[in-house]
Amino acid sequence: MIELLAPGGNEAKMRTAFEYGADAVYIGGDAFGLRACADNFTLQQIADAVDYANRIHKKIYVTMNIIARNSDLKEMAKYARELSQANVHGVIVSDPGAFLTVKEAAPELCLHVSTQANNLNWRTCEFWQKLGAVRVNLARELTLSEIAQISENLRERNCPIELEAFVHGAMCMSYSGRCMLSDYFVGRSSNRGDCAQPCRWNYKIVEGSRPDDILEAEENERGTFLFNSKDLCMVAYLQELKEAGVSSFKIEGRMKSEFYVAVTVRAYRRAIDAMERGEAARPGMPFTEALLEEVCSISHRDYCTGFYLGERGSQIYETASYRRDTDFIGTVDSCEVQNTAYRLTMTQRGTFSVGDTLEFVAPDGPVQKYTVTEMYNASGEKIDRAPHATMKVLLEIPFYVKSGCVIRRRKITDHQKG
């Protein structure tokens, strides 16, 4: 059974991930996770998240994947015991010292080894399994054939460890995220969850003996992006990952929006379900093109398949700018029958106006469209525009949508404007 593992940057995103089809969600506590700026979970919120997941028969994994220093270890042991008391379904670590610390402090915890540990071969996976790990997240640098070799060797040695791999999201230009640029430039350590993303900065080339002579290697009008990467998208190759031995498909993005979580999880849920029915998405199929259209609606860099297919250089990208085909407009708070229509209350997340055509992207079923003819604020006053973030807006629509449904608006292209 394939697991779809999604990011949960906060409680709302966690619930969105589950609602849209994730089997498990990975979250960060307020310590020891690699997303220092995320809206992380307190211990009580983690316990509440686990209770919620248990009620719907799903799982919560907590990240403790910083590269630990001496000063971290005592608190890590204490935190591991607290996570055990919260009954989390798994803890993600990358540092061997952190692994041993957590294992000794709370031996009952299920330990997953992060991609930060550079899990590139079957002996590494066997090593972690012998130490007590139940899962490894394979390095993004692996090809499908290498993953298949890992899986085959583990089977031959009767080494029961689950293999997890990223299928979607941002990629780091360094080996499995072990980058020191941020630490060097601004004193913010990517290995402790505080990356400033200098790989996205604009650089110029200077020859050592001519420091004042800047060599222009301009890729576009915005400059040169030497270290930048495309985003990963494997929605058309999930069958190949499954056949290679991967049992958990992971989506990157704890810092991303609810809209990102909803759309990506929905697309990969549909792809996995089709695969399990024997109708796997393949490149060029109309179903695959529809899935790609969906994941292109969110903010992203150009997509690629990373290293999986062995296409040399496919992970390099020439611009740091994000693209998206739609704007995130809001989420549905409630939808109630009113006469022959439905009265919808929503929380605005992007400016929209009367005359705009909104798309309601529910966890299942087709995307439904509605062109706004009238709208009201929380006081019931008629308005023509909703300009304020998080303001409540009331609409009357001709169909029912579930609470939590995300709302988007297609971008108008220059061709359409003309």
pLDDT tens profile 176-211: 666 777 777 887 766 665 667 777 777 677 777 777
Q: Amino acid identity, residue 212?
A: D
Q: Amino acid identity, residue 386?
A: A
Instruction: Give pLDDT < 50 ranges for the chain.
Output: 219, 221, 316-320, 414-418
Reduce the DSSP state of residue 278 to 3 states and report it: coil
Q: How far apart are CA 72 and CA 144, in angstroms?
A: 36
Q: How far apart are CA 3 and CA 137, in angstroms?
A: 13
Residues of the chain with CATH 2.40.30.10: 326-417
Interhelix angle 122-131/96-105, nearest 10 degrees: 30
Rg, C-alpha atoms of the chain: 23
The predicted structure's pLDDT at residue 34: 55
The predicted structure's pLDDT at residue 411: 84
Q: How far apart are CA 374 and CA 387, in angstroms?
A: 15
The predicted structure's pLDDT at residue 418: 42
Q: Which residue has the tokens 């499908």?
A: 144
Q: How far apart are CA 125 and CA 371, in angstroms?
A: 53
The predicted structure's pLDDT at residue 319: 44
| φ, ψ for residue 108, nearest 5 deg | -80, -10
Q: Are 289 and 282 in contact (CB under 8 A)?
A: no
Structure-block tokens of residue 360: 């309601």
The predicted structure's pLDDT at residue 181: 77
Q: Are 241 and 251 in contact (CB under 8 A)?
A: no
Terminal Cα-to-Cα distance of the chain (whole angstroms): 49
Q: Are 106 and 84 in contact (CB under 8 A)?
A: yes
236, exposed or middle or buried, with CB in 10 Å at 0-12, 13-18, 19+? Answer: buried
Reduce the DSSP state of residue 281 to 3 states and report it: coil
Tell me how far CA of residue 240 lies from CA of 2, 98, 176, 235, 378, in angstroms: 13, 33, 21, 10, 50
Superfamily of domain 326-417: Translation factors (2.40.30.10)
Residues of the chain with CATH 3.20.20.70: 3-174+229-304
CATH class of the domain whose range is 3-174+229-304: alpha beta
pTM of the model: 0.89
The predicted structure's pLDDT at residue 8: 96
The predicted structure's pLDDT at residue 225: 54
Q: How far apart are CA 74 and CA 240, in angstroms?
A: 42
Q: Are 247 and 2 in contact (CB under 8 A)?
A: yes
Structure-block tokens of residue 416: 């359409």
Structure-block tokens of residue 16: 């969105």
> pLDDT per residue over 129-152, tens digit each?
999 999 999 999 999 999 999 999
Structure-block tokens of residue 231: 């985003």
Q: How far apart are CA 94 and CA 365, in angstroms?
A: 39
Tell me how far CA of residue 158 lies from CA of 121, 122, 151, 154, in angstroms: 16, 12, 10, 6
Tell me how far CA of residue 175 lies from CA of 120, 148, 162, 191, 379, in angstroms: 11, 20, 22, 12, 53
Structure-block tokens of residue 11: 């409680």
Q: Specify which residues 360 forms β-bridges with.
A: 368, 407
